[in-house]
Amino acid sequence: MNHQQKIDGLQERWQTARERSQQAAWELEEHLKAIQQDELRHAQELAELTALLPAPWLEHWQQQPQPTFTRLEALIEARHHHLLRKQELEKTLTTCTSDLERERYQQQTRLQQHEKLSSLLATLEEQLTSGQLRLQTTLGEHASPHAWQQALNQSVEQARQAESQAREAWSEANLSHEQLRHTVELKRGEAQKLDSAHGLLLVELEAWRAQHSTLDETLLTRLLGIDDREHTALRRQMQTLERAVNEADVVVQERENRLAAHRTERADLPEQETLEQRWTELSQLNQASQERHAELRAEIAEDNRRRTQSAELLNAIESARAEYLRWAKLDELIGSADGHTFRKIAQGYNLDLLIHHANAQLQQLVRRYRLKRGGSALGLLVMDTEMGDELRSVHSLSGGETFLVSLALALGLASMASTNLKIESLFIDEGFGSLDPDSLQLAMDALDGLQAQGRKVAVISHVQEMHERIPVQVQVCKQGNGLSTLRIQGPTPRFID
């Protein structure tokens, strides 16, 4: 009867444990699904973070996750201050941009005014140059309009005198010409008479020569040559007078032409006072234009200086903006100020390291299984190498297999925590009472393997089969009244109060 009651009690306990195990398995499966989803999201964020973080940061993170996380939190805090500074710079940039736009508008207005003044100055300079050229052409070698006017008046007076002299000479020459013409007419009449007489004389001379044959030709020529020379001299005098009259006519015509030309030029030119007044106005306008031109040059130099300063400020702002975008992207990946998102990233990264170390342990414990991330952000899947690398849920493992996976994770966690140290002592409290005989045998074989590797393994369990296989034991014996006694069982058993 007592034996049946024990069996019933064990069955009830087994049923209860089974229900709890199923509930725990369902909860674990749900948890693994959530972890797998988080793992996928973490993988994407980790890829982006890996692209952003420099290689030294990733190396430090792999070696020392917690210190690196602390440094990143400090950097995030510094970045928060940097963002505040960036906002201040953006406000300053807005103000500077407004000032720059206003300055550009004013500069554009000044440039337009400068272009108008430059155009006006160019027009005035052209007018001034044209006026100077015309004035120089008009003045010629004279130093001033007054000197030119005096020279012109003197030339006109000289021309008038020359004209008067030419007219007098022309009158005299005309009178002489008339006298000479009258004389010539008389001489021509006399010449005709003389020709007639000369013909008669020739007849008479021939008759006379015939009568006076003793007279030679030389003597006759010398005698007759007296009247011929006088006649030739008169002819030469008449030709000289005609040439003088012609020359006087040419001089008079030239003087008349020059006088007409001077009168025409003088009619087109303004008065001397008008020229001097226009010269004074152009000089004053030229002086004012030069002063305004100097002012505009100074304003342009100041504007160029401000443009250079603005360009330097814009370059600094662009550099700050690029740095801000980099940190903003990092902030987007890291998450809020409390570091929740970044903690998930760090946990995912640490989980990758843990899986790496756990797989190294599984290689020694059981070669069939490998751990992989999946199902959620922090989820785990088991890859069964004997089933074509099929991915299985951790809930599909048997008790012994679950123990081995948990043991591999514990050993991997110990490897991560030890960094460069070797942990040779291991305490395990995994609830061995829930294992079936096969699973328990598998777990004990794994523990024997660890012990064979030189590690000290301590197991906390009440399973009798384990007591039988572990020679050295530390047993807790109840004494009552809340007292206990430690008993070390081994080659030399002893008690410790």
pLDDT digits (tens, 9 = 90+) for 244-266: 777 777 777 777 777 677 666 65
Q: Which of these three, 289, 319, 334, is where a domain ends?
A: 334
Q: Which of these three, 224, 247, 269, is where a domain ends?
A: 269
Pair 186, 258 in one domain: yes
pLDDT digits (tens, 9 = 90+) for 43-92: 676 666 666 666 676 676 666 666 776 776 666 676 667 667 767 767 77
Domain, as residue range, for 248: 150-269
Among 35-39, 243-247, 270-274, 376-380, whose mean pLDDT is lowest?
A: 270-274
Structure tokens at 117: 């003044």
Distance between CA atoms of 123 and 151, rounded to whole angstroms?
A: 32
Q: What spatial distance separates the first Cα and last Cα of the chain, rounded to whole Å?
A: 39
Nearest to 87 by CA among 332, 334, 321: 321
Residue 496 host element (H or E): strand 494-496
User: What 3-state class would DSSP assign to 382?
Assistant: strand
User: What 3-state class would DSSP assign to 111?
Assistant: helix
**Which DSSP string corresponds to 79-94?**
HHHHHHHHHHHHHHHH
What confidence category does residue 94 fall into, taking pLDDT thresholds of 50, 70 and 90? confident
Total of domains in the chain: 2
Q: Which one-letter DSSP state was computed for residue 339?
A: -
Q: Are 424 and 462 in contact (CB under 8 A)?
A: no
Among 6-15, 110-119, 199-208, whose mean pLDDT is lowest?
A: 199-208
Which residues is 381 bridged to in the sheet? Answer: 372, 393
Which residues is 473 bridged to in the sheet? Answer: 489
Whether the predicted pLDDT of 366 surpasses 50 = yes
The alpha carbon of residue 5 and the mean position of all alpha carbons in its chain are separated, in whole angstroms, by: 91
Mean pLDDT (whole number) for 172-199 = 66
Pair 274, 263 in one domain: no
**Which DSSP string corresponds to 167-209?**
HHHHHHHHHHHHHHHHHHHHHHHHHHHHHHHHHHHHHHHHHHH
Pair 306, 325 in one domain: yes
Pair 263, 276 in one domain: no
Pair 251, 287 in one domain: no
Pair 131, 170 in one domain: no
User: What 3-state class would DSSP assign to 222?
Assistant: helix
Q: Which one-letter DSSP state was computed for residue 453?
A: T
Pair 109, 134 in one domain: yes
- 134 within some domain: yes
Q: Which of these three, 284, 319, 334, is where a domain ends?
A: 334
- 303 within some domain: yes
Pair 157, 95 in one domain: no
Amino acid at 477: C
Nearest to 342 by CA among 84, 80, 82, 76: 76
Pair 254, 265 in one domain: yes
- 37 within some domain: no
- 354 within some domain: no
Pair 251, 275 in one domain: no
Pair 196, 265 in one domain: yes
- 215 within some domain: yes
Pair 242, 183 in one domain: yes
- 121 within some domain: yes
- 51 within some domain: no
- 416 within some domain: no
